[in-house]
């Protein structure tokens, strides 16, 4: 429940203390016509970072450590078998029921929850990720930008607003492009047929090398084709990824060139899918009814993922007594499963027994101190149990390993607030605001932190004043948009 309510958007701007974001200033690239003659890797990375800040501030990004852990693992499995990797990839979830995934500058790949909810198996999900990874490694957006003939009206703001919003929410994106009169950005939104063919070819090779079933690519495109026949409006994915019938045939024929590779069912995929359906697809009562129906229809075989999804819906509806036997059975068979441990924390916190979660998670944290699911659940339970020093210690240590983890920042901010440490609280708020590119608000929070510093704390005052100057300078950089 903690992670469900933390869908980060522009209104959620609280965080922990980390100065690295402000110290890592950037110089925004000039996207005038002459600058489009080349798109260096560093320039592409910077544009991608700015886009990612905009996504955090305007889109329903899901910061769910369990789902993040799964998606990152799957994405990195594919990246490790891809060629032409120029920078680290990052994968994130968007809470949207539509089938879609998108990649943009700098190796950022976003995945709609609707994609996994409607995928039949992990190979289908991986086929889409492999395709998007290929768009990045082949630099299709950067190459398209370079090849644009009429760039006189193209600005960084128009590029980011148009491309970004259309990838995440096409209707909004088209409106933004029209409103800013950056019609030249429209051509950046749709991959060319040649780019799609190249991404299909390279993505399928990556898919196969990573151990997945290459036939899944054709299966997924066939599913999209079927949706076109029954909908007046095509799926979002097809607005930026054209799907002529010949492409489906080409993908199927290409898959036949690979040796058969049946891919064993992965329980983690089904657990992630159940979590999305239970937590992010809307009505809880409807989700509960669906899981009960599926359990009756599929009483044979491994029903762990269905029982897990049912347990989640029951916890979210505070039907704790019905949920507990399901959790007990799941944990008995797989006591260190991260999906189950996370749900057990939600169960104890929801029942008002957070201390039990603290005690249960302590030995797991000793074994895996850097795992985000265990550490953040442990810290969350500690906060709810009013063990603020423990929570602060856990989160500050975790920040050394993952300094930009937004949910960890949120939890540390909550810890400072509960401790009434106002200086640390405002400095923490400033840090997360910087993650959204809200540098003026970040500067205001640093100023509030200064107001709570004692006169004899000269070093702390000096550090905060330097941070204030950095945020103001970075705001000027963003104003150049």
- Going by C-alpha positions, the residue among 28, 52, 24, 45 that lies closest to residue 155 is 28
| pLDDT tens readout for residues 207-217 | 999 999 999 98
Two tokens at 300?
């044979």
Mean pLDDT of all residues in 83-99: 89
155/73: higher pLDDT: 73
Q: Is 405 annotated as a binding residue?
A: no
Show me where the domains of the chain are located: 1-27+404-481, 31-255, 283-330
Residue 270 known to bind ligand:
no
Structure tokens at 320: 């704790």
Q: Give the integer Cα–Cα distance in Å for 381 and 391.
A: 8
Q: Does the pLDDT value for residue 368 go beyond 70?
A: yes
- The reported pLDDT for the residue numbered 41 is 77
If one compares 291 and 197, the residue with the highest pLDDT of the two is: 291
Is the Cβ–Cβ distance between 258 and 208 less than 8 Å? yes
Higher pLDDT, 294 or 55: 294
User: Do residues 75 and 185 lie in contact, with contact meaning Cβ atoms separated by under 8 Å?
Assistant: no
Position 388 pLDDT exceeds 80:
yes
Sheet with 101-104: strands ordered across: 7-8, 61-62, 90-94, 108-112, 101-104
Q: Which residues are catalytic?
A: 132, 200
φ and ψ of 179, to 5 deg? -65, -35
> Distance between CA 389 and CA 395 in Å, rounded?
10
Q: Is residue 313 pLDDT above 90, yes or no?
A: yes
What pLDDT score does 22 carry? 40
Structure confidence by residue, pLDDT tens digits, 428-476? 999 988 888 889 999 999 999 999 998 899 999 999 999 999 999 988 8
- Confirm if 442 and 419 have CB atoms less than 8 A apart: no
131 is in an annotated binding site: yes
């Amino acid at each position: 429940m903690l992670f469900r309510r933390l869908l980060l958007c522009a209104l959620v701007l609280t965080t922990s203390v980390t100065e690295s974001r402000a110290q890592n200033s950037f110089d925004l690239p000039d996207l005038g016509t002459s600058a489009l003659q080349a798109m260096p890797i560093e320039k592409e990375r910077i544009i991608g970072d700015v886009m990612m800040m905009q996504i955090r501030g305007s889109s329903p990004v899901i910061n769910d450590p369990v789902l993040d852990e799964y998606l990152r693992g799957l994405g990195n499995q594919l990246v490790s078998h891809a060629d032409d990797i120029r920078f680290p990839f990052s994968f994130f979830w968007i809470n949207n029921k539509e089938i879609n995934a998108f990649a943009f500058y700098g190796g950022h790949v976003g995945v709609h929850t609707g994609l996994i909810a409607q995928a039949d198996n992990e190979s289908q999900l991986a086929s889409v990720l492999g395709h998007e990874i290929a768009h990045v490694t082949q630099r299709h957006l950067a190459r398209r930008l370079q090849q644009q003939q009429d760039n006189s009206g193209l600005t960084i703001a128009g590029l980011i607003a148009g491309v970004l919003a259309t990838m995440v929410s096409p209707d909004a994106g088209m409106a933004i492009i029209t409103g800013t009169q950056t019609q030249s950005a429209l051509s950046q939104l749709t991959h060319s047929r040649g780019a799609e063919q190249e991404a299909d070819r390279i993505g399928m090779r990556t898919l196969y090398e990573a151990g997945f079933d290459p036939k899944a690519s054709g299966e997924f495109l066939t599913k999209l084709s079927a949706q076109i026949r029954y909908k007046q409006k095509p799926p979002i994915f097809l607005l930026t990824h054209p799907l002529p019938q010949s492409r489906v045939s080409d993908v199927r024929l290409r898959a036949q060139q690979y040796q058969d590779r049946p891919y064993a069912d992965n329980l983690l995929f089904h657990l992630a899918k159940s979590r999305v359906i239970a937590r992010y697809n809307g009505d809880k009562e409807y989700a509960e009814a669906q899981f009960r129906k599926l359990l009756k229809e599929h009483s044979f075989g491994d029903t762990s993922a269905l029982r897990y999804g049912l347990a989640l819906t029951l916890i979210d509806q505070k039907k704790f007594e019905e949920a507990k036997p399901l959790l007990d059975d799941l944990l008995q068979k797989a006591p260190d499963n991260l999906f189950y441990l996370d749900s057990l924390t939600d169960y104890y916190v929801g029942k008002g027994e957070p201390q039990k979660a603290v005690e249960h998670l302590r030995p797991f944290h000793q074994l895996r101190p850097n795992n985000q699911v265990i550490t953040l659940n442990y810290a969350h339970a500690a906060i709810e149990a009013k063990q603020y020093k423990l929570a602060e210690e856990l989160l500050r240590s975790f920040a050394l390993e993952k300094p930009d983890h937004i949910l960890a920042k949120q939890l540390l901010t909550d810890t400072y607030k509960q401790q009434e440490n106002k200086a640390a609280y405002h400095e923490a708020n400033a840090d997360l605001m910087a993650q959204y590119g809200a540098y003026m608000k970040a500067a205001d929070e640093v100023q509030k932190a200064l107001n709570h510093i004692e006169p004899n704390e000269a070093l702390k005052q000096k550090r905060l004043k330097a941070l204030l100057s950095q945020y103001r300078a970075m705001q000027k950089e963003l104003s150049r948009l």
